Amino acid sequence: MSFWQALFMGLLQGATELFPVSSLGHAVLVPSLLHWSFKQSDPSFVPFLVLLHLGTAGALLVLYRQQWVEIVAGFFRAAIRGRISTPTERLSMLLLVGTLPAGVLGVFLEGPIKRLFASPYEAAAFLIVNGVLMLGFELLRRRDERRAAVDKAPRLEQEERFADAAQITFVAAALVGACQALAFLPGISRSGVTIGGGLLAGLRHQEAARFSFLLATPVILGAGLIEVPQLFSGGVPVVEYVLSAVLAGLAAYLSARFLLRYFRSGRLDPYGWYCIAAGAVSLALLHFAL
Amino acid sequence: MKSSSLAIGLGVLGIVFIVIAVLYALGVLQFFASTDTGPHYKHALLFGVLAIASFVAANFARPKTA
């Protein structure tokens, strides 16, 4: 992988990790469509991915630094007291409950699933599935808006009818967390399925995005930190990789800021249509070897 | 749902998870691991987090005196 390819992959990963469009799908598809020859299944590629993920997790930590301080303090307060007293303490416990299924499924299923579905064809097909899922989540949300009789109201008013992240049930948090396992399939977006899961649990779009980003941070950070020793194996171009990670972090930070603003009134539909179009075009390009 | 037996059960489960975490970290346990040798820190971290969650749940389940 050349220097510029590494920077490009960093930018691509950072930008697509938080958008509901699947970073893994894009990381499999784009190099293949550009006829780049590096093999992502190669063991030497792992340290690169580790640093990109640490860059993304770092961006999320910076974005939510104040909230994380409160969440961690709230977690210890509630854990020691054995009782939840504030919304922040409840959010900290919801994040723990949501992280556990993702961690269990990640440790035991991620490797086998990624090995089974690693080809660009599968990534393109799952990207279409991801698009259909996003449209499906919005279809169900519109049904909920009709039931709440707010379907004719302005978007901001519609959103006000739905809940904050700290108000969802623990079962819903566990299910949203478990949804992250779907993202081991290249083309299925982690943030997309968790935001969608949050919408099904009755969260506002912006709160669903916030819960998704908070939920992603410990998983991405934990998985990244544990692989750090691999960076010190011989032949790893650390400077090149670190620069890519910084770029990934910067792109992730700007993506998160944009998405949190967008989801004040925006929906998942544009990303759904994008995924369907990108998946279909990729399948055609791959099929005709263009 | 508060009960002493549930709290004790969750506490014991936490201890079991700690033992499993240590065994994975030392490379003694190799179940469901990608390689057949060496330590598996990802598995160890997971069981460590599960242990913490069990202890927290045990503290929540423990009947509290007013």
The pLDDT tens digits of the residues spanning B1-29 come to 668 899 999 999 999 999 999 999 998 88
In this predicted structure, what is the pLDDT of residue B16? 96
pLDDT of residue A96 exceeding 90, the answer is yes
Dist CA A248 CA A55 (whole Å): 6
> What's the DSSP call for residue A164?
P
The domain tally of chain B equals 1
For residue A141, name the pLDDT band (cuts at 50, 70, 90).
Answer: very high
B63 touches chain A (CB under 8 A): no
Residue B66 lies in a domain: no
Residue A110: pLDDT band (50, 70, 90) is confident
Which comes out higher in pLDDT, residue A67 or A49?
Answer: A67
Q: Note the pLDDT of residue A41.
A: 63
Are A265 and A155 contacting, i.e. CB atoms less than 8 angstroms apart? yes
Q: Does B48 touch chain A (CB under 8 A)?
A: no
Q: What is the pLDDT of residue A290?
A: 64
Q: Judge contact between A162 and A145, C-beta under 8 A.
A: no
With respect to residue B32, please indicate whether it lies within any of the assigned structural domains: yes
Minimal CA–CA distance to A130: which of A6, A3, A23?
A23
CA distance A239 to A253: 21
Distances (CA, A) of A153 to A140, A159, A203: 17, 10, 17
Residue B38 in domain: yes
Q: Is B49 on the interface with A (CB under 8 A)?
A: yes
Task: Determine the average pLDDT of the residues in A139-167.
Answer: 86
First to last CA, chain B: 16
* Residue B47, domain extent: 4-61
Mutation to test the A interface, candidates B17, B29, B42, most A Cβ within 10 Å: B42
Would you state the pLDDT for residue B12?
A: 95
Domain span at residue A236?
3-287
> CB distance from B24 to chain A under 8 Å?
no
What is the pTM assigned to this prediction? 0.88
Q: Which residues in chain B touch residue A184, judged by CB atoms under 8 angstroms apart? A: none
Top pLDDT among B33 and A273 is at A273
Share of chain A above pLDDT 70, in %: 94
- Cβ distance A223 to B49 less than 8 Å, yes or no, reads no
- Mean pLDDT across A175-202: 90
pLDDT value at residue A132 = 97
pLDDT at A36: 82
Predicted local confidence at residue A3, as pLDDT: 83
Provide the pLDDT for residue A73.
96
Reference A171, options A162, A183, A159, A179; nearest CA is: A179
pLDDT of residue A39: 67
Amino acid found at A75: F
Nearest to A178, CA basis, from A160, A201, A158, A161: A201
ipTM over 0.90: no
Residue A266's pLDDT is 92
d(CA A18, CA A195): 10
pLDDT at A240: 84
Please report whether residue B24 resides in a domain: yes
CB contact under 8 A, B59 and A80: yes
Chain A residue with CA closest to B55: the answer is: A79
Position A60 confidence tier, pLDDT thresholds 50, 70, 90: very high
Greater confidence, B61 or A48? B61
* Residue A126 binned pLDDT confidence (cut-offs 50, 70, 90): very high
pLDDT at A259: 95
To the nearest whole Å, the CA of A126 is away from the closest chain B CA by: 25
For chain A, what is the domain count?
1
User: How far is A103 from B49, CA to CA, in rounded Å?
Assistant: 9
What is B9-66 written as a DSSP string? HHHHHHHHHHHHHHHHHHT---TT-SSSSS--HHHHHHHHHHHHHHHHHHHHHS----
Cross-chain residue pair B60–A82, CB shorter than 8 Å: yes
Mean pLDDT of chain A: 88
Q: What is the pLDDT of residue A134?
A: 96
What is the CB neighbour count within 10 angstroms for residue A146?
11
